[in-house]
Structure 1
Amino acid sequence: MEQISEEQSKLLSSKEWLVKVDSQKSTPYLFKFHSSKIDLTCMVMITDTKSVWAEALTGNQIARRWRACNKVDPFVPNSAEENEAEEEWRLSILRNLSEIHTPGGMDNVSFEVVESRSSDFAFEIDCEAFKWTWETCFIGYKSSTEIISKHLVLPLLSVTHTVLSVVKPAGEMSESELEKAIDGVGRAARRSIDTHIKNVISKPRMNTSIRRMTALYNLCDHLPPISLTNEEPKLQIATPPRLRAPDHPPFPTKARDVSPSLMEQSNLAKTPPKLASSPSPSLGRSSVPHELYANAPKQNTTDDSATESDDDELGAKVTPVAAASAPSIPGSPSQHSGFSQSSRPLAKPTTILKAPPPDSDSSPPRPPTKKKKETVTSSSEDSEERRKRVAKLKSRTASARGGVRQPLKRGGKRF
Structure 2
Amino acid sequence: MRLQTTTAQDQNGQREPLSSGCPIVVPKEGFRAVLEEYSEIIEKTAAQMEAELNDETSWDFIGGKDGVKAYTKVDGSLTAAKGVGFLPYHPRVIWDQFIDATKRKLVDHQLALGRKLKTLHPQTHIDYLEYKPIFVVAGRDFCNLVHWRVLPDGTIILVVQSIEDLELCPLKEPKVVRGDLHLACTKKVPNAAYDGAMVTTMVKTDIKGSIQMTISYYPAPTVDISCLVALGNGNDFGVCRLREMDKMNLQDVYNCLRGVSMSSDQGDRNKSMSLLPTWVIRLMRNVFRWLGGTCGVRIPQVGKEPFMFSSCMMTSVGLMGLDMAFSSITLYSQVLMLVNISSILNKAVLVNDKVEVRPMLTLTTTIDHQYANGPEVARMAKILKEFVENPSLLEVIHGA
TM over 0.5: no
TM-score by length of 2: 0.19
- Answer with 1 or 2: which has the greater Rg: 1
Task: Choose between structure 1 and 2: higher helix proportion.
Answer: 1
Task: Choose between structure 1 and 2: higher strand proportion.
Answer: 2
